Amino acid sequence: MPVIEWKEPWRAIQFAAEIPWVQKQFEQEITSAHPLHGKGGEVIGRRIDCDDVVVILNDGTYVSVHLVWGSGPGAFPDKWPAWFTYGTQELFVKTMNEDALEFSSET
């Protein structure tokens, strides 16, 4: 597990019951039609204000995935869940810090 100093609205996946539950949801939503299919990945964090999770793919790439919390492929399994690439841990942390500034100004 990478060492990240988490800042709201992001937090680590940390609770024993939460870890397999969120990981299973990610794996269930990435169907064979989805661009992330076959890339593996471990969910390491999530936002507290929406359904976004941060995943480290098997190749070390950091991505954000907006889980839809459905029970199977939806109408557009090649597009949902929505996702985008941060790339490196450093770019994720930079974005997380920007999110934290925005989040703190809203609360």
Residue 43 CA to residue 48 CA, distance in Å, equals: 14
Per-residue pLDDT of the chain (107 residues; tens, 9 = 90+): 679 999 999 999 988 789 899 999 999 999 999 999 999 999 999 999 999 999 999 999 999 999 998 766 666 788 889 999 999 999 999 999 999 999 988 76
Cα-based torsion angle of the residue sequence 71, 74, 79, 84 in order, rounded to the nearest 10 degrees: -20
Q: How many CA atoms lie within 13 A of 59 on its CB side?
A: 7
pTM for the structure as a whole: 0.90
Residue 21 CB coordination number (10 Å): 12
Instruction: Identify the residue whose tokens are 């809203």.
Output: 106
